[in-house]
Amino acid sequence: MTRRIALAFTGASGMPYGIRLLECLLAAGVKVELLYSQVAQIVARQEMDLALPARPAEVQALFAERFGAAEGLLAVYGREEWFAPLASGSNPPDAMVICPCTMGTLASIAAGLSSNLIERAADVCLKERRPLVLVPRETPFSTLHLENMLKLSRMGVVILPPSPGFYTHPQTVQDMVDFVVARILDQLGVPHTLIARWGETPEVDA
Protein backbone atom coordinates (compact mmCIF):
# COMPACT_ATOMS: atom_id res chain seq x y z
CA MET A 1 0.00 0.00 0.00
CA THR A 2 1.29 3.46 -0.89
CA ARG A 3 2.08 5.51 2.20
CA ARG A 4 0.39 8.88 2.72
CA ILE A 5 2.46 11.66 4.21
CA ALA A 6 1.22 15.17 4.87
CA LEU A 7 3.78 17.88 4.20
CA ALA A 8 3.26 21.51 5.15
CA PHE A 9 5.29 24.57 4.24
CA THR A 10 4.97 27.52 6.63
CA GLY A 11 6.59 30.93 6.64
CA ALA A 12 9.90 30.22 8.35
CA SER A 13 13.16 30.48 6.44
CA GLY A 14 14.28 27.16 5.00
CA MET A 15 12.04 26.58 2.00
CA PRO A 16 14.78 24.65 0.13
CA TYR A 17 14.46 21.91 2.78
CA GLY A 18 10.74 21.58 2.20
CA ILE A 19 10.95 21.60 -1.60
CA ARG A 20 13.73 19.01 -1.62
CA LEU A 21 11.79 16.84 0.82
CA LEU A 22 8.76 16.98 -1.47
CA GLU A 23 10.93 15.94 -4.41
CA CYS A 24 12.40 12.99 -2.50
CA LEU A 25 9.06 11.76 -1.18
CA LEU A 26 7.52 11.77 -4.65
CA ALA A 27 10.58 10.05 -6.10
CA ALA A 28 10.19 7.33 -3.45
CA GLY A 29 6.60 6.70 -4.52
CA VAL A 30 5.04 8.23 -1.41
CA LYS A 31 1.65 9.87 -1.74
CA VAL A 32 2.06 13.44 -0.53
CA GLU A 33 -0.73 15.67 0.74
CA LEU A 34 0.75 19.15 0.54
CA LEU A 35 -0.36 22.23 2.51
CA TYR A 36 1.18 25.70 2.46
CA SER A 37 0.61 29.01 4.18
CA GLN A 38 0.37 32.43 2.57
CA VAL A 39 3.66 33.48 4.15
CA ALA A 40 5.29 30.34 2.73
CA GLN A 41 4.50 31.77 -0.71
CA ILE A 42 6.49 34.89 0.18
CA VAL A 43 9.42 32.86 1.53
CA ALA A 44 9.48 30.61 -1.55
CA ARG A 45 9.78 33.64 -3.79
CA GLN A 46 12.44 35.30 -1.62
CA GLU A 47 14.63 32.25 -1.05
CA MET A 48 14.16 30.29 -4.28
CA ASP A 49 12.63 32.68 -6.83
CA LEU A 50 9.74 30.22 -6.81
CA ALA A 51 6.25 31.60 -7.38
CA LEU A 52 3.74 29.40 -5.59
CA PRO A 53 0.27 30.11 -7.02
CA ALA A 54 -2.54 30.95 -4.64
CA ARG A 55 -4.74 28.16 -6.00
CA PRO A 56 -3.90 24.65 -4.74
CA ALA A 57 -4.75 23.05 -8.09
CA GLU A 58 -2.12 25.21 -9.78
CA VAL A 59 0.49 24.32 -7.16
CA GLN A 60 -0.33 20.67 -7.67
CA ALA A 61 0.18 20.97 -11.43
CA LEU A 62 3.41 22.95 -10.91
CA PHE A 63 5.08 20.38 -8.67
CA ALA A 64 3.70 17.35 -10.50
CA GLU A 65 5.34 18.61 -13.69
CA ARG A 66 8.51 19.83 -11.99
CA PHE A 67 9.20 16.51 -10.26
CA GLY A 68 7.57 14.14 -12.76
CA ALA A 69 5.17 12.85 -10.11
CA ALA A 70 3.15 9.79 -11.04
CA GLU A 71 -0.59 10.26 -11.38
CA GLY A 72 -2.31 10.43 -8.00
CA LEU A 73 0.85 10.80 -5.91
CA LEU A 74 0.42 14.51 -5.14
CA ALA A 75 -2.61 16.25 -3.70
CA VAL A 76 -2.54 19.91 -2.65
CA TYR A 77 -5.11 21.44 -0.30
CA GLY A 78 -5.91 24.98 0.76
CA ARG A 79 -5.52 26.11 4.37
CA GLU A 80 -9.30 26.35 4.80
CA GLU A 81 -10.20 23.17 2.90
CA TRP A 82 -11.91 21.46 5.82
CA PHE A 83 -13.22 18.55 3.76
CA ALA A 84 -9.69 17.40 2.91
CA PRO A 85 -9.07 13.80 4.12
CA LEU A 86 -6.36 14.76 6.60
CA ALA A 87 -8.76 17.08 8.48
CA SER A 88 -10.43 14.08 10.11
CA GLY A 89 -9.23 11.38 12.46
CA SER A 90 -11.23 8.94 10.35
CA ASN A 91 -8.74 9.38 7.50
CA PRO A 92 -5.40 10.53 8.96
CA PRO A 93 -2.12 10.48 7.03
CA ASP A 94 0.48 7.91 7.99
CA ALA A 95 2.76 10.75 9.14
CA MET A 96 3.13 14.51 8.86
CA VAL A 97 6.07 16.86 8.46
CA ILE A 98 6.00 20.64 8.78
CA CYS A 99 9.11 21.88 7.02
CA PRO A 100 9.95 24.65 7.55
CA CYS A 101 7.94 25.22 10.71
CA THR A 102 7.39 28.68 12.15
CA MET A 103 7.43 29.20 15.89
CA GLY A 104 3.86 30.47 15.60
CA THR A 105 2.72 27.20 14.02
CA LEU A 106 4.66 25.21 16.59
CA ALA A 107 3.07 27.18 19.43
CA SER A 108 -0.41 26.72 17.97
CA ILE A 109 0.07 22.97 17.78
CA ALA A 110 1.40 22.88 21.34
CA ALA A 111 -1.69 24.78 22.49
CA GLY A 112 -4.08 22.49 20.62
CA LEU A 113 -5.32 25.17 18.25
CA SER A 114 -6.77 24.23 14.87
CA SER A 115 -7.39 27.57 13.19
CA ASN A 116 -6.33 26.31 9.76
CA LEU A 117 -5.85 22.98 7.99
CA ILE A 118 -2.12 22.81 8.77
CA GLU A 119 -2.77 23.02 12.50
CA ARG A 120 -5.78 20.71 12.29
CA ALA A 121 -3.81 18.04 10.39
CA ALA A 122 -1.10 18.20 13.05
CA ASP A 123 -3.74 17.91 15.76
CA VAL A 124 -5.16 14.84 14.00
CA CYS A 125 -1.72 13.23 13.95
CA LEU A 126 -1.33 13.88 17.67
CA LYS A 127 -4.70 12.45 18.67
CA GLU A 128 -4.38 9.46 16.33
CA ARG A 129 -0.81 8.78 17.50
CA ARG A 130 0.67 9.22 14.03
CA PRO A 131 4.28 10.43 13.62
CA LEU A 132 4.63 14.21 13.54
CA VAL A 133 7.94 15.85 12.62
CA LEU A 134 8.49 19.58 13.03
CA VAL A 135 11.46 21.31 11.43
CA PRO A 136 11.71 24.68 13.24
CA ARG A 137 14.05 27.18 11.59
CA GLU A 138 14.77 29.81 14.20
CA THR A 139 17.81 30.97 16.13
CA PRO A 140 18.34 31.60 18.92
CA PHE A 141 15.44 29.85 20.64
CA SER A 142 13.61 31.81 23.32
CA THR A 143 12.60 30.18 26.59
CA LEU A 144 9.02 30.04 25.30
CA HIS A 145 10.16 28.33 22.10
CA LEU A 146 12.03 25.73 24.13
CA GLU A 147 9.10 25.18 26.48
CA ASN A 148 6.75 24.63 23.54
CA MET A 149 9.18 22.21 21.91
CA LEU A 150 9.62 20.29 25.17
CA LYS A 151 5.85 20.07 25.58
CA LEU A 152 5.48 18.64 22.08
CA SER A 153 8.44 16.30 22.50
CA ARG A 154 6.78 14.82 25.57
CA MET A 155 3.76 14.09 23.36
CA GLY A 156 5.98 12.11 20.98
CA VAL A 157 6.54 14.83 18.39
CA VAL A 158 9.96 14.79 16.71
CA ILE A 159 11.62 18.20 16.87
CA LEU A 160 14.22 18.26 14.11
CA PRO A 161 15.98 21.62 13.71
CA PRO A 162 17.67 21.90 10.30
CA SER A 163 21.24 21.63 11.59
CA PRO A 164 23.47 20.08 8.92
CA GLY A 165 26.50 18.11 10.02
CA PHE A 166 29.89 18.63 8.44
CA TYR A 167 31.45 15.19 8.86
CA THR A 168 30.23 14.39 5.32
CA HIS A 169 32.40 17.25 4.01
CA PRO A 170 29.64 19.12 2.16
CA GLN A 171 30.81 20.98 -0.91
CA THR A 172 27.63 22.87 -1.77
CA VAL A 173 24.54 24.33 -0.16
CA GLN A 174 22.62 21.47 -1.77
CA ASP A 175 24.78 19.00 0.14
CA MET A 176 23.79 20.67 3.41
CA VAL A 177 20.13 20.69 2.42
CA ASP A 178 20.33 16.99 1.60
CA PHE A 179 21.84 16.23 5.00
CA VAL A 180 18.79 17.65 6.76
CA VAL A 181 16.30 16.11 4.34
CA ALA A 182 17.99 12.73 4.84
CA ARG A 183 17.41 12.95 8.58
CA ILE A 184 13.74 13.77 8.00
CA LEU A 185 13.36 10.82 5.63
CA ASP A 186 14.96 8.59 8.27
CA GLN A 187 12.30 9.66 10.77
CA LEU A 188 9.62 8.75 8.24
CA GLY A 189 11.19 5.41 7.38
CA VAL A 190 11.56 6.39 3.71
CA PRO A 191 14.66 4.83 2.08
CA HIS A 192 17.18 7.15 0.47
CA THR A 193 20.83 7.51 -0.51
CA LEU A 194 21.12 11.27 -0.13
CA ILE A 195 24.15 11.12 2.13
CA ALA A 196 26.71 8.54 3.19
CA ARG A 197 25.87 7.02 6.55
CA TRP A 198 28.42 7.02 9.32
CA GLY A 199 31.03 4.33 8.66
CA GLU A 200 29.77 3.57 5.15
CA THR A 201 31.15 4.30 1.69
CA PRO A 202 29.39 7.23 0.01
CA GLU A 203 26.65 6.33 -2.46
CA VAL A 204 24.93 9.60 -3.14
CA ASP A 205 21.99 10.27 -5.46
CA ALA A 206 22.81 12.20 -8.60
How many Cα atoms occupy the beta-carbon half-sphere of 152 within 13 Å? 29
Does 172 show up as a binding residue in the annotation? no
105 in a labelled binding site: yes
**120 assigned binding-site residue:** no
Q: Are 100 and 133 in contact (CB under 8 A)?
A: no
112 is in an annotated binding site: no
- Is 151 in contact with 132 (CB distance < 8 Å)? no
Instruction: For residue 8, give the nearest of 104, 119, 92, 91 by alpha carbon.
Output: 119
Could you count the other beta carbons within 10 Å of the beta carbon of residue 123? 18
Burial class (CB in 10 A: 0-12, 13-18, 19+), 78: middle
Contact between 118 and 80 (Cβ < 8 Å): no
Q: Is 13 annotated as a binding residue?
A: yes
Q: How far apart are CA 70 and CA 105, in angstroms?
A: 31
Helix, strand, coil share (%) of the chain residues, nearest 5 = 40, 15, 45
90 is in an annotated binding site: no
176 annotated to bind ligand: no
Question: Is 103 annotated to bind ligand?
Answer: yes
156 is in an annotated binding site: no
Starting at the earlier edge strand, list the strands of the sheet with 158-159. 74-76, 31-36, 4-9, 95-101, 132-136, 158-159
Q: Can you say which residues are annotated as belonging to the binding site?
A: 11-13, 37, 102-105, 137, 167, 183
Q: Can you say which residues are annotated as belonging to the binding site for dimethylallyl phosphate?
A: 167, 183
Q: Can you say which residues are annotated as belonging to the binding site for FMN?
A: 11-13, 37, 102-105, 137
